Amino acid sequence: MKILINSFAKPLIMTLLFSLLTLLLQAAIPANPVSAASCANPVSYFGEMKASGNKINGSKTNRTMMVKGSSFFWSNWSGPFWNTATVNRMVDEFQVEIVRAAYGVDPSGNPYNTADESKVREVVNAAIAKGIYVIIDWHSHDAHNNVNAAKSFFSRMAQEYGSYDNVIFEIYNEPTQVSWGTIKSYAEQVIPAIRQRSDNLIIVGTPFWSQNVDQAANDPITSSGNIAYTLHFYAGSHFQSLRDKANYAMSKGIPLFVTEMGFVNADGDGGINYDSTNQWLDWMNQNNLSWANWAINDKAEGASIFNANGSLTSGGNYLKSILAGHAPYAEWRQNTACGGSSANTLYDFEGSTQGWTGSNISDGPWSVNEWSSKGSNSLKADINMSANSQHSLLLSQKRNLSGKTTLNATVKHVSWDSAGDGIYAKIYVKTGSNWVWNAGKVEKINSSGGTTLSINLASVPNLDDVREIGVQFLTSENSSGKSAVYVDNVTLQ
């Protein structure tokens, strides 16, 4: 049957159909659409690195930026790691934001193996594909002996990769007993080879294994812009005196980049110096200095993050926990369009301590599967109880919690020895340069199930400068012996 629509009804029906279509389209489009590229990865968020005074800014944010990651070992001695799979693992498992491709160069200033240039390309291409930064490093102690080799290499690299915001050029890894005048002369010859094709950040090594940054600060390179200077340290060998040199250099107006740092001794071996490393990490956080940890390798030495079978060394686990502690607070991840939400689980301790440490604990902390309030694991530490003793599990790391309202954690203790009238706990934050203490309500915790602690952040000052978060456990006056405490499911709203 044919339906006849008169000439008056047709315009009305078309108007209604158009209005309905418009409503459907509006429902399908977010009220405030955010481009996926604006937060998909650090490079799409920050853009190209730009030296500005003594800081490095993102070209897209025009604010000081900081990224954290890891360095490959010498290309000529760690070839099996120089591939896309390793880059992907470092991003997906370790949550690195930058890798460093250390192209091995011999004492004459020539690459140990020119075939390794293809390895450099594979690492750079993989980093670009993952949206992270990558340092192309002329990994030499004697680069000034062969300026032409460096010029030729960086000319090729700049031509191929100089248009990518991901790429940074490090033209001299670690000059040894070389004067700053010699290094500067070398740099002023190599830099133009890059500048003909790229305005990307260039990092220049400094005397004495890239430690004497003060000498570079007294006579900086002025022939080209977008230049930073290399600072290297190993926490087992380098302490406050080196930070003093770096502070002086920054006070003179030059930007620093920690392209190589280690938890162990300067020879790359030995055990992890946790106290010194934490001091360095705090200092780098305070000064927004980007860094790459040494090294992605399985050599039998303390600095390697992998064992020969591919499992993680103690250094690998420590690096992973540091980066896991940083990841939730990374500026580029803060937008909810990047996967954030109004209530985020910051620390679940699934498989690692995530950088947390302890104060006045007898052993630990560890990630354990004995108890958890969510998931499989929690953070545990042993404590020796005494009258009114205080014990803490904590993470010291500078962060911005502006706009957040509540910090929560679930805790418990075990029934060992005598807890007396019980064990109590409170969650806290320390803020500002004076590390001002702000704590939530003290709660008596139990040993049979978890107790949730909270702190209202609305009245906490300096939330844009939080220095530490943690849980403090307080024992009763009549307590004695040994116990263990747990923290799990640290969340932020």
Residue 39's pLDDT is 56
The DSSP bridge pattern shows strands 443-445 and 423-431 to be antiparallel
DSSP, res 351? S
Sign of CA dihedral 97, 303, 207, 185: negative
Spatial distance between the Cα atoms of 143 and 108, rounded to a whole number of angstroms: 8
Catalytic residues: 174, 260
**What class has domain 38-335?**
alpha beta
Positive/negative CA dihedral, 295, 298, 299, 304 = positive
pLDDT at 345: 77
- DSSP states of 110-169: SBS-GGGHHHHHHHHHHHHHHT-EEEEEEE-S-GGG-HHHHHHHHHHHHHHHTT-TTEEE
Q: What is the pLDDT of residue 6?
A: 43
Angstrom distances, CA of residue 168 to CA of 297, 308, 389, 419: 22, 30, 50, 56
Helix (H) or strand (E) holding 406: strand 406-413
C-beta neighbour count of 125 within 10 angstroms = 17
Residue type, 318: Y
Report how far residue 366's alpha carbon sits from residue 160's, in angstroms, rounded to the nearest whole number. Answer: 46
Q: Are 351 and 491 in contact (CB under 8 A)?
A: no
Q: What is the pLDDT of residue 19?
A: 42
Nearest residue to 432 via CA among 394, 398, 393, 405: 398
Neighbours of 131 (CB within 10 A): 18
Residue 18 neighbours by CB distance under 10 Å:
10
Listed in sequence order, the residues at least 6 apart from 372 whose beta carbon sits closer than 8 Å to its beta carbon are: 349, 378, 488, 489
Give me the residue spans of the domains in the chain.
38-335, 341-492
pLDDT tens per residue across all 493 residues of the chain: 333 334 434 444 444 443 443 333 333 333 222 233 345 799 999 999 999 999 999 999 899 999 999 999 999 999 899 999 999 999 999 999 999 999 999 999 999 999 999 999 999 999 999 999 999 999 999 999 999 999 999 999 999 999 999 999 999 999 999 999 999 999 999 999 999 999 999 999 999 999 999 999 999 999 999 999 999 999 999 999 999 999 999 999 999 999 999 999 999 999 999 999 989 998 998 899 999 999 999 999 999 999 999 999 999 999 998 998 888 778 888 654 444 444 477 888 877 888 899 999 999 999 999 998 887 889 999 999 999 999 999 999 888 888 889 999 999 999 888 989 999 999 999 999 999 999 999 999 988 889 999 999 998 999 989 999 999 999 999 999 999 999 998 988 8
d(Cα 377, Cα 213) in Å, to the nearest integer?
43
Question: Cα–Cα distance between 61 and 47 in angstroms, integer?
Answer: 8
User: Which residues have CB under 8 Å from 20's CB, separation 6+?
Assistant: none
At the fourth CATH level, the homologous superfamily of domain 341-492 is: Galactose-binding domain-like (2.60.120.260)
